[in-house]
Amino acid sequence: MAKIFCVANQKGGVGKTTTTVNLSAGLAKVGQRVLMVDLDPQGNATMGSGVDKRQLKLSVYDVLLESASIAEARVRSERLVEAGCSYDILGANRDLAGAEVELVDVERREKRLKEAIAAVDAEYDFVLIDCPPSLSMLTLNGLCAAHGVIVPMQCEYFALEGLSDLVNTIKQVHANLNKDLEIIGLLRVMFDPRITLQQQVSDQLKAHFGDKVFNTVIPRNVRLAEAPSYGLPGVAFDPAARGSQAFVDFAKEMVDRLGTLKPAAMPRAA
């Protein structure tokens, strides 16, 4: 059974997509079988994995509307295969923006992704879902499908304030729709230790959330920002970069955490 995680935060530009594609690549690199689901109509995670969103024959949109299965719609990127960190991609493009409206009247509308993943669950160790920056029906599908939420955050002044909205939403989904859902952890991203305020907010986060804060810290690193324009996660584009190495460390931390918390999710023997 795959462990399924949403990468979510209502704020835009906080590093959700960067986290999703680099954690996917990092997990693949350490031998995990990964499906990455792009739930954002912007399709940045799709493009950032080397797949042209405009060329997709089938996408997550078709899966949500039940006109295709994930087995039919998923694709691979040759460039990720070459880089030795390949994962499967359920891509997204602007079609997905229409799904919101089209799902309004259908039954089980918030469970569509969950049901689709159940059919391919056994083929993966991890499913990572990149959410849009809102609490839309799309994000709700992600939260209903997941066992846990990974929250990337910048250690800035309003970071904690924004977090309380997300925590409340997750509590509501937990209570009403998905008993499995929990915040698996907060990931400090774009971190610059020279900035005193960032260090202070980081300390505050640890004081409030304890071991819900991941040990790995992702530094601000220009190679991570450059990688998407080459259609690759940083981990594949420049494996030696500090940011890339941090994401591989984060992948190992995820595998370790699941190993201790949930023994059933340990990677299986080949």
**Residues of the shown chain interacting with ligand ADP in the complex, contacts defined by CB under 6 A:** 12-18, 44, 133, 189-190, 218, 220-221, 224-225, 228, 243
Q: Which is nearer to ligand ADP, 69 or 199 (CB)?
A: 199
For residue 238, give every residue at least 6 positions away whose Cβ sits within 8 Å of its Cβ, in sequence order, or none. 223, 227, 244
**Residue 193 touches which member of ligand ADP, Mg ion, none, C-beta under 5-8 Å by kind:** none
**Residue 213 touches which member of Mg ion, ligand ADP, none, C-beta under 5-8 Å by kind:** none
Residue count at the site for Mg ion (CB under 5 A)?
3
Region of 8-16, 91-99, 114-122, 171-179 interacting with Mg ion (CB under 5 A)? 8-16
Q: Which is nearer to ligand ADP, 32 or 244 (CB)?
A: 244
**Residue 218 touches which member of Mg ion, ligand ADP, none, C-beta under 5-8 Å by kind:** ligand ADP
Helices 159-176 and 137-145, packing angle to 10 deg? 70
Closest distance of CB 44 from Mg ion, Å: 5
Closest distance of CB 53 from ligand ADP, Å: 14
Region of 16-24, 59-67, 77-85, 202-210 interacting with Mg ion (CB under 5 A)? 16-24
Q: Is 17 a binder of Mg ion (CB under 5 A)? A: yes
Instruction: Among 16, 33, 53, 112, indicate the residue that binds Mg ion (CB under 5 A).
Output: 16
**Residue 1 touches which member of ligand ADP, Mg ion, none, C-beta under 5-8 Å by kind:** none
**Residue 99, class by beta-carbon neighbours within 10 Å (0-12 exposed, 13-18 middle, 19+ buried)?**
buried
The three-state (H, E, C) secondary structure of the chain, written as one string = CCEEEEECCCCCCCCHHHHHHHHHHHHHHCCCCEEEEECCCCCHHHHCCCCCHHHCCCCHHHHHCCCCCHHHHCECCHHHHHHCCCCEEECCCCHHHHHHHHCCCCCCHHHHHHHHHHCCHHHCCEEEEECCCCCCHHHHHHHHHCCEEEEEECCCCCHHHHHHHHHHHHHHHHHHCCCCCEEEEEEEEEECCCCHHHHHHHHHHHHHHHHHEEEEEEECCHHHHHHHHHCCCHHHHCCCCHHHHHHHHHHHHHHHHHHHHCHHHCCCCC
Residue nearest to Mg ion (CB): 17
Closest distance of CB 14 from Mg ion, Å: 9
Closest distance of CB 262 from ligand ADP, Å: 27
Closest distance of CB 152 from ligand ADP, Å: 7
Closest distance of CB 195 from Mg ion, Å: 23
**Residue 259 touches which member of ligand ADP, Mg ion, none, C-beta under 5-8 Å by kind:** none
**Residue 60 touches which member of Mg ion, ligand ADP, none, C-beta under 5-8 Å by kind:** none
Which positions lie near Mg ion, rule CB under 5 A? Answer: 16-17, 44
